[in-house]
Homo-oligomer: A and B are copies of this chain.
Amino acid sequence: MYTYNYLFDFTRNVFMKMGCSEHDSEIIAEVFLAAELRDHASHGMIRIKDYYELWKAGRINVKPNVRIVHESPSTAVVDGDNAVGMVPARRSMEIAIEKAEKAGTGWVATRNSNHFGIAGYYSMMALKHDMIGICLTNANPLVSPTFSISRMMGTNPIAVSIPTRKQPSFVADFATTPIARGKLAVAEKKGEKVAFGFVQDRTGKPSDDPTILKSGGSMLTLGGDRVHGSHKGYCLSAIVDIFSAVFSGANFGPFVPPSVAYLPVLEKKVGKGTGHFFGAMRIDAFQPADEFKAKMDEWIETFRSAKPAEGQERVLIPGDPEREAEERIRRDGIKLVPAIKDDLIAIANELKIKFE
């Protein structure tokens, strides 16, 4: 078990050694650790190696000039200058919040960025300003549209955070696929099959093989198949892709650059880097903040009191599992599996810093 502070300091030091500023390195560490605390380890310390390898391959800019390239009273487009994704992402959400202070709402599309960690981190930044926060991002293509076998989209997540008064905040943060890619890797390691509805083979036939991506298969959109509404998951994923990439001038769909160095840079580009989209809505642009937050408490209390199905203990509110995980992990510490620990030790050795 590791403490939050130990892993935070280590992560900050890794990125400072790579040449990032102390300020940027602290932001990056904060987002990686937020994933660990919220029990989304797939977006946490495991990804430090990916960034380290991208940096060694000269594919990441550690001295970026993140800047607004276009704006209106309630909108902006930000160019991330090929930075570590957390840096332009956090700045973009700050701009959305600044815009919302004046115009009621703020909307920022970001191009030329890279993998930014968990979307929920950015949507949650709005909460302390009494704002609703929204965050979308596209990602490297693994997912096929309905009726297709081509990998055209990422797992393109949607995060929405809504402030409350006494109840915990409403925080939804989910991929527009039935499962995250990491769950396929877990099943593969255990030698298990997965449920039908997650992946298909190279011909479009439903599959329960978690390794199918390696033989030309692809992931399916939320809904799984056409009968169960996969075309709605396709719509959602497409909307996330367009808002993230077409609004900003980033690469869309199949042209989103890989977030790992062992995959080559794509030959064809239709924009710059990876794209994100951020929104901030001041709640008192709609209702007096106190009234709104009291009403959200009532909404949450109403849904929490829904009757559980037979065999279920309780009905959850979006954000409950992650908040409960965070309480537990802050108390007990962060666990890293041996393979990740070994990777971090190897990185530490190369950078001449310490990790144990």
Which A residues are closer than 8 A to B by beta carbons? 70-75, 77, 102-105, 107, 109, 144-150, 152, 158, 160, 162, 170, 172, 174-179, 195, 197-198, 200, 203-205, 222-224, 227-229, 231-236, 238-239, 241-242, 246-249, 252-254, 270-271, 281-282, 285-287, 292, 295-296, 298-299, 302-303, 306-312, 314-316, 318
**Bound complex: CA A71 to CA B285 (Å):** 6
**Bound complex: CA A316 to CA B287 (Å):** 40
A73 CB to nearest chain B CB (Å)? 5
**Bound complex: CA A152 to CA B300 (Å):** 12
Contact B238 A75 (CB under 8 A): no
Contact B204 A309 (CB under 8 A): yes
Contact B178 A315 (CB under 8 A): no
- Given contacts A104-B74, A229-B222, A309-B203, whether A235 and B147 have CB atoms under 8 Å apart is no
Contact A72 B303 (CB under 8 A): no
The complex is assembled from copies of this chain, and their number is 2
- Given contacts A204-B312, A247-B287, whether A145 and B223 have CB atoms under 8 Å apart is no
10 smallest A-B Cβ distances: which pairs? A204-B309, A72-B104, A172-B235, A150-B306, A178-B229, A72-B285, A75-B285, A75-B104, A147-B312, A148-B306
Contact B72 A103 (CB under 8 A): yes
Least CB separation from A283: chain B residue: B247
Contact B73 A103 (CB under 8 A): yes
Q: Which residues of the partner chain B approach A71 to less than 8 Å between Cβ atoms?
A: 285
Contact B292 A246 (CB under 8 A): yes
Least CB separation from A234: chain B residue: B318
Contact B316 A232 (CB under 8 A): no
A103 CB to nearest chain B CB (Å)? 5
Q: Which residues of the partner chain B approach A75 to less than 8 Å between Cβ atoms?
A: 104-105, 281-282, 285-286
Q: Which residues of the partner chain B approach A292 to less than 8 Å between Cβ atoms?
A: 246-247
A176 CB to nearest chain B CB (Å)? 8
Q: Which residues of the partner chain B approach A77 to less than 8 Å between Cβ atoms?
A: 286-287
Task: A70-B287, A77-B287, A254-B302 are known; give 15 further A-B pairs, CB within 8 A.
Answer: A72-B105, A72-B285, A73-B73, A105-B105, A107-B285, A147-B315, A149-B308, A150-B306, A178-B232, A179-B229, A222-B232, A222-B233, A236-B236, A241-B299, A242-B299
Pull 21 A–B residue pairs with CB atoms less than 8 Å apart, ordered by A: A72-B103, A73-B74, A73-B104, A74-B104, A75-B105, A103-B103, A148-B309, A149-B306, A150-B306, A152-B306, A170-B238, A174-B229, A198-B228, A204-B312, A222-B223, A231-B318, A241-B299, A242-B296, A242-B299, A252-B302, A253-B302
